[in-house]
Amino acid sequence: MSVRRLADENVQPAAFAFSDENAAWAEATIRKYPEGRQQSAVIPLLMRAQDQEGWVTRAAIEKVADMLAMPLIRVLEVATFYTQFQLKPVGTNAHIQVCGTTPCMLRGAGDLINVCKKKINAKAHETNGDGTMSWEEVECLGACANAPMVMIFKDVYEDLTPERMEEIIDAFEAGRGSEIKPGPQIDRWLSAPEGGFTALTEEGEGALESDDTDATDEGAGSEEAISGAKGDRPPAVDQKPDDADDLTLMAGVGPKISGLLNDIGIYKFEQIAAWTPGECAWVNDSLKLGGRIERDEWVRQAGVLAKGGIEEYEKVFGRTAR
Q: pLDDT, tens digit, for every residue of 144-174?
A: 999 999 999 889 999 999 999 999 999 999 9
Bridge partners, residue 137, by sequence:
98
| Lowest mean pLDDT, pick from 2-11, 77-86, 201-210 | 201-210
Query: Mean pLDDT, to the nearest integer, of 176-196?
Result: 86
**Cβ burial, residue 285 (10 Å; 0-12/13-18/19+):** middle
pTM given for the model = 0.61
Query: Mean pLDDT, to the nearest integer, of 195-207?
Result: 58
pLDDT confidence bin for 20, thresholds 50/70/90: very high
| In the predicted structure, residue 213 carries a pLDDT above the cut 80 | no
pLDDT confidence bin for 225, thresholds 50/70/90: low
Q: What is the Cα–Cα distance from 174 to 95, expressed in whole angstroms?
A: 14
Query: Mean pLDDT, to the nearest integer, of 234-249?
Result: 93
Q: What is the Cα–Cα distance from 163 to 306, expressed in whole angstroms?
A: 33
- Angle CA(200)–CA(280)–CA(229) in degrees, nearest 5? 100
Q: Are 153 and 92 in contact (CB under 8 A)?
A: no
Q: Are 117 and 162 in contact (CB under 8 A)?
A: no
pLDDT given at position 135: 97
Q: Are 206 and 197 in contact (CB under 8 A)?
A: yes
pLDDT given at position 230: 75
**Pairing outcome for strands 183-184 and 150-152:** unpaired
Q: What is the Cα–Cα distance from 52 to 18, expressed in whole angstroms?
A: 8
pLDDT given at position 192: 83
| In the predicted structure, residue 208 carries a pLDDT above the cut 60 | no
Query: Mean pLDDT, to the nearest integer, of 121-150?
Result: 95
| In the predicted structure, residue 190 carries a pLDDT above the cut 80 | yes
